[in-house]
Structure 1
Amino acid sequence: MSFRLAAYAVCLDDDRVLLAHYRGSHWTLPGGKVEPGEDPYDTVTRELSEETGLEGSVTRLLGVDSRVIPAAEALAGAEHHNVGVFYLVRVTGGLLRAEPDGETAVSVWTPRAEVTGLARSGLVDVGLALARDEPATGHVAPVPVGGLVRH
């Protein structure tokens, strides 16, 4: 089984959320892999900048999501365990752009009401639920995968 620790930014602006689109795939939250020796707190703003061109400041920790993706559904074809640390991040500057030579084709501010109609990672739903519900435990129920929701 492979393992990945990642940090994700939930950036909200009134009724909009910042989403990133993987090239030829689906929508997700800006974020990515925590590098060896890196603090997830630092990862989230680094990834936000790399993927979107925007600078941000962590407002607060929202929670943690742990999911095991079955081999039949994993991109690499092997069972995969992803642990995601979610932060509420306030955008402080920069210019929205695609990731140069990266996996993010475009990032856009999306009305929250339109999110359910998008092909998206379940991470989007987890991040929005954490921001909306602010659970004391920092944990929300797993998001069912199927239809427009992917791993």
Structure 2
Amino acid sequence: MTLRIAPYGLCLEQDQVLLVRHVADSGETTWTLPGGGVEHGEDPFDAVTRELAEETGLDGVVERLLGLDSRVIPAHVAHAGVEHQNIGIFYLVRITGGRLRAELNGETADPTWTATSEVKYLRRSSLVDSGLALAQTLPATGHVTSTPVGGLFQH
């Protein structure tokens, strides 16, 4: 089993959420939150704003920790064909500056402010729904039930 610890930034402005389009090696695309893997020795708190800047061109500050999502992706659907655990750390991030642009030479494209009411119609990572649920409910435990995968929901 492989393991990835990845912080994600939930950026909300009025009734919109900032999403990026993840492009898989197969060419398949899925909307997700800005974020990604923690580099060796890096604090997830710092990683989320680094990833935000890399993937969107925007600067931000963490306003609060929203919570965690831990899920195991079975080998038959995991990217590398090996069972994979993703531990997602969700932060509420306020945009402070920068200019919206696509990631340079990366796996994400098209950073876009999307109406939260339109998210349900997108082919998206389950991380989007987990982040939105954490922001809406602010559970004391920092944990929400994992979103079932299938249809428009992807790992």
How far apart, CA to CA, are the structure 2 residues paired with 1:123 and 1:86? 9
2:105 — aligned with what?
Answer: 101
How far apart, CA to CA, are the structure 2 residues paired with 1:32 and 1:105? 14
The residue identity in structure 1 corresponding to 2:45 is Y
Q: Deviation digits for residues 40-63 of structure 1, max 9, x if unmatched?
A: 000000000000000000000000
Residue in structure 1 matching 2:131, options 114, 127, 134 = 127
- In structure 2, stretches of 5+ residues that fail to align are none
The residue identity in structure 1 corresponding to 2:89 is V
The residue identity in structure 1 corresponding to 2:16 is R
> In the TM superposition, what is the alpha-carbon distance from 1:12 to its structure 2 partner?
0.1
Q: For this pair of structures, how many residues does the alignment match?
A: 151
2:44 — aligned with what?
Answer: 40
TM-score, structure 1 as length reference: 0.99
Q: Deviation digits for residues 52-75 of structure 1, max 9, x if unmatched?
A: 000000000000110000011111
2:145 — aligned with what?
Answer: 141
How far apart, CA to CA, are the structure 2 residues paired with 1:57 and 1:140? 23
SS of aligned partner of 1:45: helix
2:7 — aligned with what?
Answer: 7
1:21 partnered with 2:21: yes
How far apart, CA to CA, are the structure 1 residues paired with 2:71 and 2:148? 11
1:86 partnered with 2:90: yes
RMSD: 0.6
The residue identity in structure 1 corresponding to 2:6 is A
1:51 partnered with 2:48: no
> In the TM superposition, what is the alpha-carbon distance from 1:100 to its structure 2 partner?
0.7
Percent sequence identity over aligned pairs: 64
